[in-house]
DNA sequence: CGGCGACACCGAACACTGTACGGAGCTCCG
DNA sequence: CGGAGCTCCGTACAGTGTTCGGTGTCGCCG
């Protein structure tokens, strides 16, 4: 082959020795391979390196300089492929959206299982990349990346196939996503603080106990809740909590699907309009 | 009176004119009032100034230096009252939690309206302080601040009074909160980007339209959804979307309350365990 | 009443951050 | 052979959070 595109040595060799003392620039010390036929830095490369950095070191560890270093590139070289750090993060977010399988819309009767599968998929993705939690909070559900769109489209189709009219399918997707993102982000935040402490989830919880017990003060319900959590496997408790809420959300959606649909929604009382204080 | 504790002049007067030209330091130009009996800087003061800054200029505008300037104090003076910027933010978050009314647990039959009221309260608080969205993503639901605890306790009591056992009341509260936070954060994120553009919500949406139409590409459901949103009042659409999801969540919780409770949960199929891809 | 420890405040400094800009090296097209 | 155009990068700027040493002032104790 004529291309040596994965050359292990840094591309620009010894940087720049000011002006003098450089060891005779010969053909051999010169960097090889053109820049044109293999630009050495690509958007995908940058995005995947950023993802790596985020997953291993967390959100605040991602800096353009560190990212550049990891790619044997200068700090500002990224800006020819990505216009801003925020844009880069949006790209990375869509990248991880790609991990979530798109549900199949066949079998209308199986909508519930399919929706549950997507929900769990979204959750595991968030837990695998906990830095998503604050980022999603700043980005919202309305994503324009191709992978996010594929997923939305699939969910939309799923609820359409289950019998909802198109407007309501949108509402249903948002409801489900909001729940999953809300719950999973909270878990991710918890896991992040635990991880930062270097302790296990259980150790951290028990270390927190004295503080919590005092803070819980005169609140009997909270106290009961905390004590009952004390001797449970935290991870199992989280799994169960997520599953419970998911069942409730799906139950709520089911009232609009399995019943004679096309009703005026209703079901509740005046939930819709009463503003809270 | 001997104390002039709310002196309108800045405490450190004209900052510092280098070395010369200062107008003869006499007894009269000296700052009055002791530091001991009115420390001039208090935690509450700092927190409320920070809240102000956050509400008017957004999350990234909050810096210790700007905060200090607003309080006529040096940048690092905050650190005697607050150990870290993150801690400060936690305090501000609990402060805004205080805006949300705690539900009353009397009248078990009215649980649904009460829960809906709390949900709307949480939502309006998040929309009033949109910087909460990314912050909550990094903090999770488990808050130890007094106001957050008051609210949790109230919600817990509400579901207990409605007939749920204590473990399940916790699950119900989490479900509801996750939905509300997920949905409202998404709205807040949207509003933040809109606000940054200086346009109205409608203008921004219509300006986005060409891009969106292209990005939507081959996805028919998404296309339909976007076009149907095109001629609606965005704010009304958001309100309706939130209300719809809230009804669904409350419907789902209702299956565990108004029915013969104490069942084995069930209702769905295998929602609980199937992991997603 | 004098001294002293505690305390609130602050200026300077450190190690970083995102990014604008100008220039260097390169390749391809005319 | 001369640009045009592109990628890459060093430098620089205007910030950031936080540490540290110092300074002035207070209440308290002897």
Integer distance in angstroms from CA A134 to C1' D17? 19
Cβ-Cβ contacts under 8 Å between A and B: the total is: 302
**What pLDDT shows up at residue B213?**
86
Distance from C-alpha of A247 to C-alpha of A255, rounded to nearest angstrom: 12
Integer distance in angstroms from CA A80 to C1' D1? 29
**pLDDT of B11 higher than 50:** no
CB B191 within 8 A of CB B130: yes
**Mean pLDDT in chain A?**
86
Of all residues in chain A, the percent with pLDDT exceeding 70 is 80
Answer yes or no: do A178 and B179 touch at CB < 8 A.
yes
Distance of residue A24 Cα from the nearest chain B Cα, in angstroms: 50
Higher-scoring residue by pLDDT: B5, A77: A77
Distances in whole angstroms, Cα of residue B162 to Cα of each of A211, A218, B104, B105: 30, 21, 12, 8
Q: For residue B76, give every residue at least 6 positions away whose Cβ sits within 8 Å of its Cβ, in sequence order, or none.
A: B64, B68
Of all residues in chain B, the percent with pLDDT exceeding 70 is 81
Of all residues in chain B, the percent with pLDDT exceeding 90 is 68
CB A126 within 8 A of CB A133: yes
pLDDT grade for A269, boundaries at 50, 70 and 90: low
**What pLDDT shows up at residue B22?**
46
Sign of CA dihedral A232, A236, A241, A243: negative
Backbone angles phi, psi at B236, to 5 degrees: -60, -40
Distance from C-alpha of B120 to C-alpha of B101, rounded to nearest angstrom: 10
**What pLDDT shows up at residue B1?**
39
Q: Give the pLDDT confidence of A1-59 residue by residue, as tens digits.
A: 333 333 333 444 333 434 444 455 455 555 555 555 566 789 999 999 999 999 999 99
Mean pLDDT value across residues B113-120: 98
Of all nucleotides, the one whose C1′ comes closest to residue B88's CA is: D17
Answer yes or no: do A273 and B243 touch at CB < 8 A.
yes
CB A222 within 8 A of CB B149: yes
**Mean pLDDT in chain B?**
86
What is the CATH class of B102-254? mainly alpha
Distance of residue B136 Cα from the nearest chain A Cα, in angstroms: 7
Higher-scoring residue by pLDDT: A158, B216: A158
Contacts of B182 in chain A (CB under 8 A): 177-183, 185
CB B181 within 8 A of CB B140: no
Please give the full DSSP string across B196-248, using - where no structure is assigned: HHTS-HHHHHHHHHHHHHHHHTT-HHHHHHHHHHHTS-HHHHHHHHHHHHHHH
* Residue in A175, A212, A241 closest to B174 by CB: A241
Integer distance in angstroms from CA B22 to C1' C2? 33
* Residue in B120, B187, B272 closest to A274 by CB: B120
Contacts of A220 in chain B (CB under 8 A): 153
A241: nearest CA partner in chain B: B171
Supply A261's token pair: 């649909």
Mean pLDDT value across residues B149-165: 97
Residue linked to tokens 């013969």: B260
Distance from C-alpha of B30 to C-alpha of B21, rounded to nearest angstrom: 16
Q: What angle (nearest 5°) sits at the alpha carbon of residue A170, between those of residues A167 and A176?
A: 145
Mean pLDDT value across residues B182-194: 97
| Strand D nucleotides, any atom under 7 Å to a protein CB | 6-12, 15-20, 24-27
A166-180, A216-230, B16-30, B258-272 — which is least confidently predicted?
B16-30
A166-170, B39-43, B71-75, B110-114 — which is least confidently predicted?
B39-43
B185: nearest CA partner in chain A: A137
Distance from C-alpha of B102 to C-alpha of A221, rounded to nearest angstrom: 14
Choose among B46, B52, B48: nearest CA to B64: B46
* Residue in A99, A134, A141 closest to B137 by CB: A134
Q: Give the pLDDT confidence of A135-188 residue by residue, as tens digits.
A: 999 998 887 899 999 999 999 999 999 999 999 999 999 999 999 999 999 999
Higher-scoring residue by pLDDT: B66, A263: B66
Integer distance in angstroms from CA B77 to C1' D22? 14
Please give the full DSSP string across chain A, using - where no structure is assigned: ----TT-SS-TTTT----SS------TTTS--S-SSSS-S--HHHHHHHHHHHHHHH-GGG--HHHHHHHTTS-GGGGGGT-S-HHHHHHHHHHHHHTTSPPPP---GGGHHHHHHHHHHHHHHHHHHSTTHHHHHHHH-S---SHHHHHHHHHHHHHHHHTT--HHHHHHHHHHHHHHHHHHHHHHHHHHHHHHHHTS-HHHHHHHHHHHHHHHHTT-HHHHHHHHHHHTS-HHHHHHHHHHHHHHHHHHHHHTTTTSS-SS----SSSTTT----
**What pLDDT shows up at residue A258?**
83
Answer yes or no: do A273 and B215 touch at CB < 8 A.
no
Q: For residue A258, give every residue at least 6 positions away whose Cβ sits within 8 Å of its Cβ, in sequence order, or none.
A: none
**pLDDT of B130 higher than 60:** yes
Q: Give the pLDDT confidence of A199-251 residue by residue, as tens digits.
A: 999 999 988 888 888 888 899 999 999 999 988 999 999 999 999 999 999 99
Choose among B178, B159, B179: nearest CA to B256: B159
Please give the full DSSP string across A163-213, using - where no structure is assigned: T--HHHHHHHHHHHHHHHHHHHHHHHHHHHHHHHHTS-HHHHHHHHHHHHH
Mean pLDDT value across residues B8-27: 45
Of all nucleotides, the one whose C1′ comes closest to residue B82's CA is: D18
Mean pLDDT value across residues B227-231: 90
Residue spans of the domains in chain B: they are 43-96, 102-254
Integer distance in angstroms from CA B37 to C1' D28? 15
**What pLDDT shows up at residue A108?**
87
Tell the burial category of B101 from Cβ atoms under 10 Å away from its Cβ (0-12, 13-18, 19+).
middle
Answer yes or no: do B178 and A179 touch at CB < 8 A.
yes
**Among A100, A119, A137, which would you mutate to test the B interface (most chain B Cβ atoms within 10 Å of its Cβ)?**
A137
Distance from C-alpha of A112 to C-alpha of A161, rounded to nearest angstrom: 12
pLDDT grade for A259, boundaries at 50, 70 and 90: low
Residue B11 CB neighbours (<10 A): 14
* Residue in A190, A217, A274 closest to B116 by CB: A274
**pLDDT of B183 higher than 70:** yes
Contacts of A167 in chain B (CB under 8 A): 225, 228
**What pLDDT shows up at residue A54?**
98
**pLDDT of A271 higher than 50:** yes
Answer yes or no: do B116 and A270 touch at CB < 8 A.
yes
Integer distance in angstroms from CA A179 to C1' C17? 34
Answer yes or no: do B276 and A124 touch at CB < 8 A.
yes
Contacts of A124 in chain B (CB under 8 A): 275-276
CB B153 within 8 A of CB A221: yes
Answer yes or no: do A248 and B249 touch at CB < 8 A.
yes
Choose among A181, A117, A260: nearest CA to B268: A117
Distances in whole angstroms, Cα of residue B212 to Cα of each of A4, A144, B247: 41, 7, 29
Q: Please give the CATH number for the structural domain made up of A100-254.
A: 1.10.357.10
**What pLDDT shows up at residue B207?**
87
Buried b / exposed e over B65-84, threshold 16 CB at 10 Å, is: eebbeebebeeebbeebbee
* Residue in B178, B189, B211 closest to A186 by CB: B178
**What pLDDT shows up at residue B29?**
54
Integer distance in angstroms from CA B67 to C1' C9? 15
Crossing angle for the helix pair A166-197 and A132-139, to the nearest 10 degrees: 140
Answer yes or no: do B185 and A183 touch at CB < 8 A.
no
Q: Please give the CATH number for the structural domain made up of A43-96.
A: 1.10.10.60
């Amino acid at each position: 082959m004529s291309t040596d595109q994965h050359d292990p040595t840094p591309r620009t060799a010894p940087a720049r020795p000011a002006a003098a003392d450089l060891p005779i620039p010969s053909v051999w010390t010169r960097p090889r391979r053109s820049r044109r036929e293999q630009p050495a830095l690509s958007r995908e490369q940058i995005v995947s390196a950023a993802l790596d950095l985020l997953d291993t070191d967390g959100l605040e560890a991602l800096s353009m300089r560190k990212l550049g270093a990891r790619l044997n590139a200068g700090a500002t070289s990224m800006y020819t492929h990505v216009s801003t750090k925020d844009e880069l993060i949006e790209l990375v977010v869509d990248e991880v959206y790609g991990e979530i399988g798109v549900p199949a819309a066949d079998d209308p009767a199986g909508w519930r299982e399919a929706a549950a599968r997507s929900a769990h998929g979204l959750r595991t993705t968030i837990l695998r990349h906990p830095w998503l939690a604050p980022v999603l909070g700043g980005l919202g559900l309305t994503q324009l990346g191709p992978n996010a769109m594929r997923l939305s489209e699939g969910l939309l189709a799923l609820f359409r196939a289950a019998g909802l009219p198109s407007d309501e399918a949108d509402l249903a997707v948002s409801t489900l996503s909001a729940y999953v993102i809300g719950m999973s982000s909270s878990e991710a935040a918890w896991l992040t603080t635990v991880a930062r402490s270097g302790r296990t989830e259980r150790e951290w919880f028990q270390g927190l106990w004295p503080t919590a017990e005092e803070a819980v003060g005169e609140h009997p319900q909270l106290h009961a809740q905390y004590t009952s959590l004390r001797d449970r496997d935290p991870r199992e408790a989280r799994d169960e909590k997520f599953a419970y809420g998911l069942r409730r959300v799906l139950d709520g959606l089911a009232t609009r699907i399995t019943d004679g649909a096309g009703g005026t929604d209703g079901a509740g009382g005046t939930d819709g309009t009463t503003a809270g204080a």
